[in-house]
A and B are shown apart, each in its own frame.
Chain A
Amino acid sequence: MRTLKIMNSREKESLLKELQSKFGLDVKQFQKLVFMQDSSEIWISNKDCLTQELDLPVESVGLLLARKKPEMQLTVNAVQLYCSQTAKNTIQLDRNNAQEFIRGHKLTTEKPDGLYTMKYGGRALDLGWVEKTILKRKNP
């Protein structure tokens, strides 16, 4: 059974700075949320979930935001929820390419190597990784 620790304000601020720097996130989105972590994962939930005294076996609370290993990486669900307003390192896809991308197929791009937020319309789909003009999904 895992034990998550609620992050204090200093830990939360440090994490949000890292996410803002790496992914260009608007940290105001997270103001009302509680952050929890263990050695490998970061979870978020609303405050109401943590004020309940539940004497039932709990397996998880809220949503998995990011994995810490081997490096800090947002989950696909976190990207979709929080990266739509990101302007940093993004690649815009049309519908056909978006469908290819989400199916796990590789695409080609002229963008430099690195991590990108893949967008379709005004929405963030997931993270993509470009290496030598080949773009593929970062999250499996």
Chain B
Amino acid sequence: MNMRKSRQRLLENRFRLLSDDSREFFECSQKPSRKSLHVNTLKTTKSEVVSALEDQGFTLRQIPWASGGYWAEGSSLSDTVEYFLGHYYLQESSMMIPPEMLEPVGGDVVLDVAAAPGGKTIYIAGLMENSGCIVANEPNAKRRKTLRFNLSKYGVLSAVVSSTDFSRELKSSVKFSKILLDAPCSCEGQFRKNPLSWKQWSLAKIIRYSRLQKKMLANALELLQPGGVLVYSTCTLAPEENEEVVDYALKNFDDIKLQPIGKQKFKYRKGLTEWNGRKYSTKVEDCVRVYPQDNDTEGFFTAKIVKCAR
């Protein structure tokens, strides 16, 4: 790790407290992440993509928790005709978990709060077979341009692109049956994909993001209809941005509860009920922590929140 020694020590100490196998975490985080893709069923079939890529010398292996997800070995996945055709989207395998947890179905009205660059929106549109309505939201104009490009490239006909800033006070009465909040975060779980993020890590950043995430989650929950589902996710392992944010929501909204996800095809750990002298509701144990070494992926956090039906 190439970072100031004091910051390095702080980071290492935090991860030692986060798990008993921090050595495995650091070892795994030094290795490059596995390349993975998700087949875009709006334009093609899984068998067509697998067959085409294997013909070109790629080796594909099905990702157990993602329908249409594959790890791929071989050079330059973004240089194929099939990639140009929008037949698959390059996406980290752990990022395929939130759309699957959301379980969107045809007819749903879905909000993707921080949609850019669009991978999860495209995934959701595929699960919904281009039916229903997905509001793909992104407040940053440059990122929104990328989002629109990707939605078009992958043939999404069911998306409305919106520019709402969920960090500010919202004046909206629209209600959604499903909401995905894959929140901006400190990206501690992405050290494998982006080695620069070691250098950019700081505790101040974590605290700033935590404040932002609480606002975004509170705003998103206001737009969730009774009986609706919100999946909150980040690619960081910092409890301040994860369990603390979910705990904040549980304390401020008396009509929501966490839904345990039960047995899954990936290894995961329970949410932490205390961190750095702060105690959280015991209900946050139903949150989901995925460390890089658990499934040889990037690190990840997610929570499935249900608003009680009236």
Q: Which residues of A contact B (CB under 8 A)?
A: 33, 44-46, 48-49, 51-64, 75, 77, 80-81, 95, 98-99, 102, 120, 123, 125
Contact = CB atoms under 8 A, between A and B. Distances in A.
Q: A-side binding surface: helix, strand, loop or mixed?
A: mixed
A96 to B, nearest CB: 10
B163 A49 contact: no
A80 B82 CA distance: 11
B174 A54 contact: yes
A63 B151 contact: yes
B127 interface: no
Given A59-B144, A77-B152, A80-B43, A102 B160 contact: no
A49 B133 contact: yes
Given A45-B157, A49-B133, A81-B155, A56 B144 contact: no
A57 B81 contact: no
B135 interface: yes
Interface centre among A59, A61, A80 (most CB of B within 10 A): A59
Nearest to B138: A59
A77 B85 CA distance: 8
Interface of B: 43, 79, 81, 84-86, 107, 109, 130-133, 135, 137, 144, 148, 151-153, 155-164, 171-174
Nearest to B137: A56
A46 B130 contact: yes
A58 B162 CA distance: 4
Contacts of A75: 152
Given A44-B157, A46-B132, A48-B133, 4 more contacts: A48-B158, A80-B86, A95-B81, A99-B81
Contact of B131 (A46, A56, A123): A46
Nearest to A122: B48
Given A80-B43, A81-B43, A61 B160 contact: yes
8 contacts: A46-B131, A49-B159, A55-B174, A56-B135, A59-B148, A62-B159, A77-B153, A80-B43
Contact of B172 (A55, A62, A80): A55
Considering the complex of A and B, which 6 residue pairs feature the smallest CB-CB distances, nearest first?
A60-B161, A77-B152, A59-B161, A56-B162, A102-B84, A48-B133
A58 B79 CA distance: 33
A125 B81 contact: yes
A81 B130 CA distance: 13
A47 to B, nearest CB: 9
Contacts of B81: 95, 98-99, 102, 120, 125
A48 B105 CA distance: 13
Nearest to A33: B157
A63 B157 contact: yes
